[in-house]
Amino acid sequence: MDSTANAINWFELSVNDIARAKKFYETAFNMTMQEMEMMGMKMAMFPIDNMIGKVGGALVQSAGHKPSMDGAKVYINANPDLADALGRVEEAGGKVTMPKTKINEESGYMAFFTDSEGNMVGMHSNK
């Protein structure tokens, strides 16, 4: 990998109940996710128009996917201001675990929440 490549090109958030998790993310982030099944996994895809050069991801329910607050952390793009999505987290069935916090002038803001499945997930925005 060289410095022009994305360090991450795909992510999966493990879920126990694909319908509940899809509803949570659609509500919190005000978006629509497309469902599909692939290789014995139920998936709900985060919206992306063209995968070339972009990072995509999905919610995934399968025997090999276990939700967790431990392990790698994924930050979901909540631009322009993560306060909007963070404000919908608890209404959608999650819990805010770290409020909107300034990283620095160049990097913007971050927050953490626990989703409807028990995953610890981050948000990032420029404002």
- Provide the CATH number for the domain around residue 35: 3.10.180.10
In a domain, 114, yes or no: yes
By residue count, the chain amounts to: 127
> Nearest CA to 29 among 16, 41, 46?
46
Full domain range(s) for residue 91: 10-125
pLDDT in tens, 24-79: 999 999 999 999 999 999 999 999 887 777 889 999 999 999 999 998 899 999 99
In a domain, 1, yes or no: no
> Nearest CA to 30 among 85, 82, 110?
85
Tokens found for residue 45: 């895809």
pLDDT in tens, 14-28: 999 999 999 999 999
Contact 62, 42 (CB under 8 A): yes
Tokens found for residue 84: 């909007």
Q: What is the mean pLDDT of residues 81-108?
A: 96
In a domain, 4, yes or no: no
In a domain, 59, yes or no: yes
